[in-house]
Amino acid sequence: MAEAGHRIRARHEFRGMRTVEHFFTVPLDHADTGVDAETITVFAREYVAAGHSAEEAENLPWLLFLQGGPGGRGNRFGTLGGWSKAAAKDFRILMLDQRGTGLSTPADRKTLPLRGTAAGQAGYLEHFRADSIVADAELIRKALGIPYWTIYGQSYGGFCALTYLSFAPEALRQVLITGGLAPLTGPADDVYRATFQRVAARNAEYFSWYPEDRETLQRIARHLRSTPEIMADGSPLTVERLQMLGAFLGGNTRVDSLHYLLEDAFTDTPDGPRLSDGFLEQVHGIVSRASNPLYALMHESIYGQGQATAWAAWRVLDEYPEFRPDADPLLLTGEMVYPWYFDQDPALRPLREVAGLLAAKNDWKPLYDVRRLAANRVPVAAAVYSDDIYVDRKLSLETAATVRGLKVWETGDFHHDGIADDGEGIFARLLGMVASGRS
């Protein structure tokens, strides 16, 4: 394996913590370690509680946090709170900007054309899955001189943690996972069949709390079918994009905010009722992928194992006609990605052909080693949320049963954003579970 180049840009201390900004040079393709191999930059920020002296901090064990996504940059903490406050008591935290995100070498509509044709861009993005993220982490660990570390994976970060356990378990002291036990085998279709059902149930639950919002949603949909409404980036708000407000349904901490958004929908104008600027601005922040295009480009590939995903959510939608944009009543969707995203979102439109090539790719490399997971010796604890609409409970428990020694805490008290709800409590509980299983 190649060595990572490493430089520190800056150190800062504020609001009870010290930070260090690290930049690492890593191969684009970890299988190509030749002297002329292409490299990219991966950024990570170190957080240490200021209550630790410099000497104490040097002796703290490391915790690598793997963010959700794909395409989500590492958290930017203004202060330590929630899970990070709990972790900083005992760890130096390394917050990774996974390749293509944040201050790492970017991958978006502005930079990807540097790769040439759509085929060249798709070939480049083949190196942006969990296997490459784990290989980056391994080079970073060695560059920092860390013999082994704890990793904490949230959502997609949990998928990456399972890849880490599959291919480099010797680097891991213990593993914590929240809302992120990936299915280890099977087509992406299985994932979407499960999640469509859970999203339907969550719709029913939400509208039982706010029955007036069902009519508001229908009114907005009727309005959009007859009256164009344009958002700040010049793109239209369509009924399909309106359904993307289902992103609110995935959390405990934000589900009620959907009600506050919908109550701002209409304003009176000389031309009659129109959608308010405030509503359109908030919706744009949800439906635009300008800040995380890799989410749309790579989302289904995280389930790709030796076969094409072939727009799985779009195909499975045919089995659930109640989610169609012309359905009455209208239902909100979850995290599914559809081909029309690349027609309606200006940030994605130049990448439509690239997305199609990734969806058609039928030789994705394995992301997990099931036999190695079955022989696992690393202490692992995972929070499984019973009603998670993004990572299905049944599929999660099937994975948990495959990983030797993995301890599950199943709870119905949280949804997918549990660590935003009680991150400190969840982290402490999982850490206690792995501590009790460590020899």
Catalytic residue set:
155, 363, 416
State the DSSP code for 243: G
236 DSSP β-pair partners: 230
Provide CB contacts within 8 A for 40, sequence distance 6+: 25, 26, 27, 28, 99, 104, 105
How far apart are the C-alpha atoms of 111 and 120, rounded to whole Å? 12
In this structure, what are the phi and psi dihedrals at residue 211, rounded to the nearest 5 degrees? Answer: -60, -30
Provide CB contacts within 8 A for 226, sequence distance 6+: none
How far apart are the C-alpha atoms of 52 and 57, rounded to whole Å? 6
The residue to which tokens 């060249």 are assigned: 120
Contact 107, 49 (CB under 8 A): no
Q: What is the DSSP string of 202-240?
A: HHHHHHHH-HHHHHHHHHHHHHHHHS--B-TTSPBP-HH
The burial of 145, by beta-carbon neighbours within 10 Å (0-12 exposed, 13-18 middle, 19 or more buried), is given as exposed
Contact 347, 292 (CB under 8 A): no
Contact 361, 158 (CB under 8 A): no
SS3 of residue 312 by DSSP: helix
How many other C-beta atoms lie within 10 A of the C-beta of residue 342? 22
CA dihedral 290, 296, 298, 303 (to 10 degrees): 150
Question: Does the CA dihedral 74-76-81-86 come out positive or negative?
Answer: positive
Contact 331, 243 (CB under 8 A): yes
How far apart are the C-alpha atoms of 265 and 213, rounded to whole Å? 11
